[in-house]
Amino acid sequence: MVQEILSTIWPQIILPIARITGFIILGLFIASFIESLNWTHKLAAFARPLIKRGHLSALTGASFSVAFFSGVSANTILAEAYDKGQISKRELVLANLFNSLPRFFLHLPTVFFLTAPLIKFGAIIYVGLTFTGAILQTILVVALGAFLLPPNNEAPREQQPAKNKTSVKEAFDKSLKRLNKRIFKILKFLIPVYLGFFFLNKFGIFSSMEHYLAESGFFLSWLNPKALGIVLLHVTTEFSAGLAAASALLADNSLTYNEVVVALLVGNILSTPIRAIRHQLPYYTGIYTPRLAVLLVAASQLTRAFCLIFVSVVYFGLRAML
């Protein structure tokens, strides 16, 4: 009995918490190190035209650039800036949404090379629509920033007064000290939230939600009945299972490329919010406060779904008219 409990606790609780905590600690250290060396403006240069138009700060631009490599580090930069009062809550929400494009590129190779062999030409349509949705979200964030945020009066890097240069060793030591202060706060929220979601998953709550969404498909009556199987597998298992079903249906000409893409998009929209709550929310609570974590995840999922639905309706509407 004890051995059985230990065999469950170690791989399913201790190791995942240790892994998530390790990534958060690394992200926190990188964010602190970047700030200590005053590199935020250099990193923000890549996104400067967008952040200028959206009245966003250099810290948001730095987070955007870092998000191409590490989502945890990018979120940590934002959390640190918000805690210090360097960005407002409104900018924090917009900045998190702004990072959707880098997040897309992080997962692009995996998604494309998984979809291309199985659904061939459909992969181009599917990836193209999801990419357009990420672009639309970026444009929306810039437009909302220009409307909701005050003009950003940060001087360009070359116009700013020179600061005392911090050596790499000083930045390293400073980052370690700040890290020691944050570790307890990270664990205080991360561990109980992770355990809560672990037991919800263990008792089948998320599986029940996924099956309910998949089976109560009255709102999917417009789909080809054969495409519902793709949606069901996408929602209840994983993306690759839905792709495998799509590949088989394409092979025997049961569905067209467009019908397969629509089914995958519907499965994506229905399944991603539940998976975000299950996997994204626990590590967000290690970076942000629980209330902020819920707000950011909810805003991200709602905006993403809206943009994906909008570009899909426009694309298929235009195809129907041609």
Contacts of 27 (CB under 8 A, 6+ apart): 70, 72, 73, 74, 75, 76, 287
Domain that includes residue 226, residue range: 2-321
Helices (H), the chain: 2-9, 15-36, 40-44, 48-53, 58-66, 71-83, 89-98, 100-119, 121-148, 168-202, 205-215, 228-236, 239-251, 257-275, 281-287, 290-321
- Whether the pLDDT of residue 161 is over 50: the answer is no
Highest mean pLDDT among 29-38, 67-76, 89-98: 89-98
- Whether the pLDDT of residue 188 is over 80: the answer is no
Higher pLDDT, 160 or 225: 225
Provide the token pair at 92. Answer: 């924090």
Contact 227, 267 (CB under 8 A): no
Contact 185, 28 (CB under 8 A): no
Question: Which of 81-119 are b and which e, b meaning 16 or more Cβ less than 10 Å from the residue's Cβ?
Answer: bbeeebbeeebbbbbbbbbbbbbbeeeeeebeeebeebb
Longest Cα–Cα distance of the chain, Å, equals: 68
Contact 303, 137 (CB under 8 A): yes
Is the pTM higher than 0.85? The answer reads no
Count of positions (residues) in the chain:
322
- Whether the pLDDT of residue 28 is over 80: the answer is no
DSSP 8-56: HHIIIIIHHHHHHHHHHHHHHHHHHHHHHTT-HHHHHGGGHHHHHHTT-
Whole-angstrom distance, CA of residue 268 vs CA of residue 272:
6
Q: Taking all residues of the chain, what is their mean pLDDT, rounded to a whole number?
A: 80
- Whether the pLDDT of residue 293 is over 90: the answer is yes
Contact 102, 67 (CB under 8 A): yes
- Whether the pLDDT of residue 6 is over 70: the answer is no
Contact 269, 136 (CB under 8 A): no
Give the amino acid at 5. Answer: I
Q: Count of CB atoms within 10 A of residue 47's CB?
A: 24
Overall number of domains in the chain? 1
Whole-angstrom distance, CA of residue 173 vs CA of residue 297:
33
Provide the token pair at 193. Answer: 């939230």
- Whether the pLDDT of residue 306 is over 90: the answer is yes
At 8 the pLDDT is: 66
In the predicted model, what is the mean pLDDT of residues 283-311?
A: 92
- Whether the pLDDT of residue 158 is over 60: the answer is no
- Whether the pLDDT of residue 252 is over 50: the answer is yes
At 30 the pLDDT is: 75
In the predicted model, what is the mean pLDDT of residues 24-31?
A: 75
- Whether the pLDDT of residue 163 is over 60: the answer is no
At 44 the pLDDT is: 67
pLDDT interval class at 66 (50, 70, 90): confident
- Whether the pLDDT of residue 50 is over 50: the answer is yes
- Whether the pLDDT of residue 238 is over 80: the answer is no
